Every structure is written in C-alpha cells, then in structure tokens.
Amino acid sequence: MSADVAGTTAAPGVRAYIGLGSNLDDPPQQIRRALAAIAMSPGVRLIAASSLYRSPPMGPPEQPEYCNAVCMIDCAIEPAAMLARLLEIEREAGRVRGGEHWGPRRIDLDLLHVDGVTSATAGLRLPHPGIARRNFVLVPLAEIAPQLQIPDVGLVADLASRLPRDDLSMWPL
C-alpha cells in the first residue's frame, strides 16, 4: 500500500498524518475503507499510505491482533475539523466510543501530527501524546515520512529505530 494515492479533492494546505487501526470485522478491509473515506473528505488529499502492520492489542489481551497503518494527507481544513471528520468516519464504520478503554474496535483513527500545529486542549492534543512510544505508529510513519521532525519529540526515523519490533510484523496479503 506504500505509494502515492491521489484523493478526489484538491487540498492545498498543511500536511497531516493519521494513524489507523482495526481488529474487528476484516481489519485490513476496515483500514482500506477508512483510507477511501479520508480520501473522499472535502478539503483533504490523500498523499501516501503505509503498508499494513500486525500488532498485539495494547488493552485487554483477550482480543484479536490489530491491523495498523499510517497515512499522509494535505489538509485545507483546520485540525479540529479534521479530527471531527475522523470521528465521523469512525461512527459511519460502526464505532461506538465510550466502551472499554483500548478494547476491540472496528476502526480507530488518530490525528497524529499536523505540520506547524501544537495543541493541548481536552479535545485535540498534537502531536499525539503516544506517538513516540508506539511501534505500530512509528514504523508505518517512518515508512512514508522518515524525515518528519515532530516538535519536542524527534525525527521519525530515529524514533522508530529505537523501538523494539519483535511484536510487530507485516500484515499478510
């Protein structure tokens, strides 16, 4: 999946990165559907998507493994509006928030980083607070944006190289 992907709407603006995860109802297909929905969003142009990765759940161990990916977009809408669009895509896919913390889910979309934007509000934290500790985020992010410098965090390629990968593998096609 690691390739440039053209969206349907021209969107000059700021570069942003989104983490995608799923462990229910054909996880790779859930990721593909979410990528298509992101690409079709007004003011958004999908630039690239990483390969799919398999990782163990962060939460309760009695759940299926996750399929994870990261995508890069150009976004002509404000970060809060982009986050609202991601939450809408989750709802359209059948995700109900407020369940078990880190429990199983059909789709999980996280706004990871928006170039030139930091935010520490209750509704929007940028860069994403867990970005530097999660191999299932940093490895796919390094695949599509190794030279990305995340403020107060570091260079993505360096961060990814420091994390263990023994529990992370490519999702079989």
Among the residues of 51-93, which ranges form H helices? Answer: 79-92
Within 13 Å of residue 11, how many CA atoms lie on the same side as its CB? 25
Residue 95 annotated to the active site = yes
Which position among 45, 105, 106, 134 bears the catalytic label?
105
Of residues 45, 85, 108, 134, which has the active-site annotation? 108
Residue 33 appears among annotated catalytic residues = no
Q: Provide DSSP, 131-170.
A: GGG-HHHHHHHHHH-TT-EETTTEEHHHHHHHS--TT-EE
Rg (CA), the chain: 15
Which one from 110, 134, 158, 166 is the annotated catalytic residue?
Answer: 110
Tell me the helices (H) and strands (E) count for the chain, helix number first: 4, 11
75, 43 contact by CB (below 8 A): yes
- Domain range for 114 is 3-170
Any catalytic annotation for residue 166? no
Question: Residue 102 belongs to a domain with what CATH number?
Answer: 3.30.70.560
106 is catalytic: no
The per-residue pLDDT string of the chain (173 residues; one tens digit each, 9 = 90 and over) reads 433 333 333 445 899 999 999 999 999 999 999 999 999 999 999 999 999 999 999 877 789 999 999 999 999 999 999 999 999 999 998 877 666 666 688 999 999 999 999 898 888 899 998 899 999 999 999 999 999 999 999 999 999 999 999 999 999 87
pTM of the model: 0.90
How many domains, in total, are found in the chain? 1
